């Protein structure tokens, strides 16, 4: 029942942030950043188990590791981008969050280029 | 799993705000600002270490190199 622990922790930290925010908004922001980091660290341990399962299944199904690795990289980039954008938006800096999201989109596109090229190659070969 | 760091940060925040108020009342504006800056820097050090750990873990899990 780790979810109960996480919810309890979030409640406590929310109250602490409410106390601190009126006096020191910058430390309140850092507190919420630390909370987000700790919760992500807790959840990532679970995700790694699931990803290991995916890798095993892909190996059994004879799917090339390249595709799975690309997808995982894209998921990772999306995840980190979302994290950064959320923190910036929390601090009221919507424009900086927009920049982070833009950079994340470009990175995802770059990661996807090999697969797009492969698909186009296959299509061209199918057309006589 | 490093939960104590949250309470450390909250403690530093409350302490700094108290110090800031006290120093301001005593008429030491510059010392109050320095105190705020020191607290902010300490907390920033902790948070940056935590963030480094997070990004390393993400790189390991998602094989981002």
Q: Summarize pLDDT for A25-54 with one digit per residue, the tens.
A: 888 989 999 998 898 888 888 888 998 898
Which one, of B21, B44, B43, lies nearest residue B33 by Cα? B21
Give the residue on A whose Cα is nearest the Cα of B53.
Answer: A41
Predicted confidence (pLDDT) per residue in A52-96, tens digit: 898 899 889 888 888 888 888 898 899 889 989 998 998 888 999
Question: Are B17 and A28 a contacting pair, CB within 8 Å?
Answer: no
B26 touching A, CB under 8 A? no
For residue B26, the 8-state DSSP code is T
Whether A37 sits inside 8 A of B58 (CB atoms) is: no
Domain coordinates of chain A in residue numbers?
1-46, 64-128
Mutate: best of A37, A55, A91, partner B, most B CBs <10 A:
A37
Tell me the nearest-neighbour CA distance from A20 into chain B, angstroms: 6
The ipTM value here is 0.82
The residue assigned the tokens 């390991």 is B60
Chain length of chain B: 65
B9-A81-A24 Cα angle (round to 5): 25
Q: What's residue A123's pLDDT?
A: 93
């Amino acid at each position: 029942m780790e979810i109960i622990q996480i919810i309890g922790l979030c409640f406590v930290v929310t109250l602490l942030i409410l106390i601190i925010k009126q006096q020191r908004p910058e430390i309140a922001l850092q507190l919420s950043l630390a909370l987000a980091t700790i919760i992500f660290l807790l959840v990532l341990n679970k995700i790694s188990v699931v990803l290991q399962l995916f890798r095993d299944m892909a190996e059994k199904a004879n799917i090339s590791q390249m595709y799975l690795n690309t997808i995982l990289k894209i998921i990772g980039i999306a995840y980190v981008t979302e994290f950064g954008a959320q923190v910036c938006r929390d601090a009221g800096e919507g424009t900086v969050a927009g920049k982070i999201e833009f950079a994340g989109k470009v990175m995802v596109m770059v990661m996807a280029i090999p697969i797009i090229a492969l698909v186009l190659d296959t299509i061209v070969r199918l057309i006589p | 799993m490093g939960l104590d760091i949250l309470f450390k940060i909250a403690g530093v925040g409350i302490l700094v705000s108290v110090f800031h108020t006290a120093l301001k009342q005593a008429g030491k504006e510059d010392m109050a600002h320095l105190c705020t800056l020191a607290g902010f820097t300490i907390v920033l050090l902790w948070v940056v270490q935590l963030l480094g750990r997070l990004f390393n873990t993400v790189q390991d899990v998602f094989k981002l190199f």
